[in-house]
């Protein structure tokens, strides 16, 4: 059965883009989905089909958006042990390992976090979004590890999603990058858009795309005769765009170690500690870890705060670098 939502544009929303107007009214529906619905001619303004997300609305306009029934998808349970940090009747916080995708998609419909959640005691998840992403409020990349919150019901999904939209979520990542950040702490503020050269990659822009803000600070600098210059940095997300930290580090010229999409292939360096060379060359993921996640509980409004240590593969690299005794600690 189709679901139809209707609005009359009020004065404060005059001249807004139609996709932004609807998103502000219905934050539980992603802007990407709203855009796709409009492109698929599901939006009517004053009774006439409007296929343009950029179309501006006017005071008094009658807005009708048709939301088709989600396609029923049969998801296969995946026998994978989840690292559950916290769980109650409304949500689950997991510590996702690198190497597993968040939800099914082309090329992998079975071995994902969603499939593992379905296998986990036949858990119920929110049904907002399409049938392939039950419970998924936000995502981290397949080859990124760290903390993720999953919604068990639609109310929790809507309330936590709104916190993401309002940028009130605490999200802090650790990354190991090539070279030194200059300055050693600061804010990167750009737009991020899809790359014109490779549609699988994102790129920085100053004229189009979605606003992206990353606050960063250098935690440690590793340099010396027997090691390449590397820095352990902390990145706090003010926004959450696709590949945001990876794109911003690449933009600064300090690509993330192990990032195969945004970094040239690592070649064995001369006069570098053998253990460090081996660990970096054998790293089959980017050195990026979602360390901190904080948000208000959807029912109690109590602040929840979670922290995750670096996984073993990343910690071993840091240990090897620290053993060199040529570590500079930024004060």
Question: What domains can you pick out in the chain, each with its CATH number?
Answer: 3-67 (3.10.290.10), 84-165 (3.30.2350.10), 170-329 (3.30.2350.10)
Q: How far is CA 64 from CA 16, 21, 128, in A?
A: 16, 12, 19
- Span 225-239, average pLDDT: 93
Residue 330 pLDDT grade (very low, low, confident, very high; cuts 50, 70, 90):
very low
Q: For tokens 């009130």, what's the residue?
A: 168
Q: What's the chain's average pLDDT?
A: 90
* pLDDT at position 13 over 50: yes
Q: What is the pLDDT of residue 325?
A: 55
* pLDDT at position 197 over 60: yes
Residue 327 pLDDT grade (very low, low, confident, very high; cuts 50, 70, 90):
very low
* pLDDT at position 231 over 90: yes
Residue 11 pLDDT grade (very low, low, confident, very high; cuts 50, 70, 90):
confident
- Catalytic residue, candidates 19, 141, 143, 203: 141
Q: What is the pLDDT of residue 274?
A: 86
Q: What is the pLDDT of residue 329?
A: 46
- Span 271-299, average pLDDT: 93
Please report which residue ranges of the chain form alpha helices under DSSP H. 18-25, 31-39, 113-119, 154-165, 244-252, 274-281, 312-322
- Span 286-303, average pLDDT: 98
The closest of 202, 277, 298, 182 to 242, measured between CA atoms, is 202
pTM: 0.81
- Span 102-122, average pLDDT: 88
pLDDT digits (tens, 9 = 90+) for 36-87: 899 999 999 999 999 999 999 999 999 999 988 765 567 889 999 999 999 9
Number of H helices, E strands in the chain: 7, 15
Eight-state DSSP code of residue 117:
H
* pLDDT at position 264 over 80: no
- Span 300-322, average pLDDT: 96
Q: What is the pLDDT of residue 73?
A: 63
Q: What is the pLDDT of residue 249?
A: 97
**pLDDT top residue among 119 and 310:** 310
pLDDT digits (tens, 9 = 90+) for 148-177: 999 999 999 999 999 998 999 999 999 999
What percent of the chain clears pLDDT 90, i.e. is strictly above it? 67
Q: What is the pLDDT of residue 122?
A: 63
- Span 278-305, average pLDDT: 96
* pLDDT at position 268 over 90: no
Q: For tokens 């492109």, what's the residue?
A: 39
Distance CA 71, CA 63 (A): 24
Q: Annotated catalytic, 170?
A: no
- Span 271-296, average pLDDT: 92
- Span 8-29, average pLDDT: 88
Q: For tokens 């670098």, what's the residue?
A: 321
Q: Is 23 helix (H, G, I), strand (E, B) or coil?
A: helix
Produce one character per residue of 237-275: b if its CB has 16 or more CB atoms within 10 Å, e if not: bbebbebbbbbbbbbbebbbbbbebbbeebeeeeebbeb
Q: What is the pLDDT of residue 12?
A: 86
């Amino acid at each position: 059965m189709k679901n139809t939502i209707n609005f009359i544009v009020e004065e404060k929303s005059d001249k807004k883009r139609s996709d932004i107007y609807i998103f502000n009214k219905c934050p539980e529906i992603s802007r990407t989905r709203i855009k796709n619905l409009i492109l698929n001619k599901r939006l009517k303004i004053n009774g006439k089909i409007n296929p343009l997300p950029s179309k501006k609305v006017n005071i008094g306009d009658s807005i009708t958006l048709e939301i088709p029934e989600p396609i029923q998808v049969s998801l296969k349970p995946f026998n994978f042990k989840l690292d559950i940090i916290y769980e109650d009747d409304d949500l689950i916080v997991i510590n996702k390992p690198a190497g597993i995708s968040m939800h099914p998609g082309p090329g992998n419909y079975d071995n994902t976090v969603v499939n593992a959640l379905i296998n986990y005691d036949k858990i119920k998840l929110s049904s907002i979004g399409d049938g392939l992403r039950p419970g998924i409020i936000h995502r981290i990349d397949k080859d990124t590890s760290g903390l993720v919150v999953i919604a068990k019901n639609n109310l929790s999904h809507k309330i936590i999603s709104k916190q993401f939209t309002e940028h009130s979520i605490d999200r802090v990542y650790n990354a190991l990058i090539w070279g030194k950040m200059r300055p050693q702490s600061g804010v990167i503020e750009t737009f991020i858009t899809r790359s014109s050269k490779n549609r699988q990659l994102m790129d920085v822009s100053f004229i189009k795309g979605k606003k992206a803000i990353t606050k960063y600070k250098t935690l440690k600098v590793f340099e010396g005769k027997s090691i390449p210059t590397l820095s352990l940095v902390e990145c706090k997300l003010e926004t959450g765009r696709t590949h945001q930290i990876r794109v911003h580090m690449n933009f600064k010229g300090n690509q993330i170690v192990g990032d195969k999409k945004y970094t040239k292939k690592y070649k064995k360096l001369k006069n570098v500690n053998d253990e460090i060379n081996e660990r970096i060359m054998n790293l089959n993921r980017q050195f990026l870890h979602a360390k901190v996640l904080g948000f208000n509980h959807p029912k109690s409004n109590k602040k929840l705060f979670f922290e995750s240590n670096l996984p073993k593969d990343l910690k071993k690299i840091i240990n090897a670098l620290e053993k060199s005794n040529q570590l500079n600690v930024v004060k």
